[in-house]
């Protein structure tokens, strides 16, 4: 079976383009689990279609399966944890006196990564912040 392109919404700030088998029979608004070489995440399908010609799919995350009720429960727990992590990350940003706005904090489905999305008017050196967060959060920070 040919692969399809799935556009997933992980949260308000994170969108993923993934590939997956047509045999998954996923449609818009279905929840699924996707995996790349570094971590596993969950998302809601926002679009399904053919993979455009010439698309390099070698680095794209792959949809593994439709999310089960257990998966959805874990995802909800992760969303709750993300809110707590958001407060912790904001405290560390304030501690380091960085001029940046934290927009989103996301804990991946497998809990291996914390993905922080921020904006800043000027370039910000946040390397010390990332080291600090990696040490404190027991997960890799991106």
Positions in the chain whose pLDDT score sits under 50:
none
Cα–Cα dist 10/16, whole Å: 7
Q: Give me the chain's average pLDDT, please.
A: 94
Q: What is the pLDDT of residues 76-116, one digit of tens each?
A: 999 999 999 999 999 999 999 999 999 999 999 999 999 99
Closest Cα to residue 49, out of 29, 23, 19? 19
- The dihedral region occupied by 97, where left means phi > 0, alpha psi between -120 and 50, and beta the remainder, is left
| Per-residue pLDDT at 115 | 95
| Per-residue pLDDT at 47 | 97
- pTM for the model stands at 0.88
- The residue ranges of every structural domain in the chain are 3-67, 74-141
């Amino acid at each position: 079976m040919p692969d399809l392109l799935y556009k997933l919404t992980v949260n308000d700030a994170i969108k993923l383009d993934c590939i997956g088998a047509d045999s998954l029979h996923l449609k818009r608004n279905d929840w699924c689990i996707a995996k790349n070489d570094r971590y596993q995440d969950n998302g809601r399908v926002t679009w399904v279609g053919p993979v455009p010609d010439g698309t390099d799919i070698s680095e794209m995350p792959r949809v593994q399966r439709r999310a089960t009720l257990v998966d959805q429960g874990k995802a909800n727990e992760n969303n709750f944890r993300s809110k707590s992590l958001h407060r912790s990350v904001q405290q560390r940003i304030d501690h380091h006196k960085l001029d940046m706005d934290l927009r989103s904090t996301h804990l991946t489905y497998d809990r291996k990564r914390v993905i922080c999305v921020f904006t800043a008017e000027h370039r910000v050196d946040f390397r010390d912040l990332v080291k600090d967060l990696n040490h404190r959060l027991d997960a890799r920070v991106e």
